[in-house]
Amino acid sequence: MAAAPQPVPPEALYREPPPTRFHEVHGVNIRVDQSGTRATRVESFANGLCFSREPLAPGQVFLVEIEEKELGWCGHLRLGLTALDPGSLTPVPEYSLPDLVSLGRSWVFAITRHHNRVATEGQEEEPPGRLPGLLDEPYLHIEQLRIPRDRLVGRSRPGRYSHLLDQLYELNVLPPTARRSRLGVLFCPRPDGTADMHILINGEDMGPSARGLPTTQPLYAVVDVFASTKSVHLVQLEYGLPSLQTLCRIVIQRNVIHRLAIDGLHLPTGLKDFCKYE
């Protein structure tokens, strides 16, 4: 009789994971750049499945930013996890939903412009609320995990009237399906030896979108560059202490009215761009 799976120790949840990359196996319409961090669908609206190169560690976020959209298609990015080895998928399924999921041991969530939050048992889906400012709550808490929110949040490019839309840029939250939105997937181990899959959208946890995932098997991230989503690139996170660059940005955020004001500061161009765009 097989032994019961052991819970993942808390200290394992805070080890710095390696940088994320896309797997060399992907849909026939996908092109991955040489760095392995950008995936683009070059034709049609389907055959855009991508996977993480390595299985995710517990609590590790596979985070992408929508880089390019394509008009004329109905549907958006899809995210999830699979216990199937991407290298064994010959051919790669045309769609994540339903094709990949129908193979078993795969869990995929379709991102929509609205109503992405998962209602817990006995509760209705909560209406979207105002996201706490990055200066008010710099960490996202999911069960026993604590993830810095700074790089989880997508930001629109600043323009002449962007400050009116941003209400101070640290509160700027894009629609989930918009360009520059950041979406991620991770799994959180539970005491019973299983895991919950969580979807993150611009720094907010949408709740457990799938439960009972096996923690005894490698879990790869699934990104379906589907329909109106044409290109995405990976965003690397800081899991431990924030970098000096991030700390500088937090100080700058506390002392500017909106992003256009950053241009007038006597700072290196690279730091100003980091504050405005990243």
pLDDT at position 164: 47
Query: Which pLDDT tens digit goes with each residue over 92-138?
Result: 999 999 999 999 999 999 999 988 898 766 555 555 444 555 545 77
In one-letter notation, the amino acid at residue 96 is S
Domain annotation for the chain: domains and CATH numbers: 17-118+135-240 (2.60.120.920), 243-277 (no CATH)
Cα 166 to Cα 174: distance, rounded to the nearest angstrom: 9
Task: Please state the pTM of the whole predicted model.
Answer: 0.81
Contact 276, 269 (CB under 8 A): no
Q: At 96, give phi and psi (nearest 5°).
A: -75, -40
Structure token digits, residue 137: 């709550």
Cα 56 to Cα 185: distance, rounded to the nearest angstrom: 10
Cα 184 to Cα 60: distance, rounded to the nearest angstrom: 10
Cα 151 to Cα 240: distance, rounded to the nearest angstrom: 13
Whether the bond between 138 and the residue before it is cis, its omega within 30 degrees of 0, is: no
Query: Which pLDDT tens digit goes with each residue over 133-168?
Result: 554 577 889 988 888 888 898 877 655 545 444 444
Say whether pLDDT at 84 is over 60: yes
3-class SS of residue 271: helix
DSSP secondary structure letter of residue 42: -
Cα 26 to Cα 5: distance, rounded to the nearest angstrom: 31
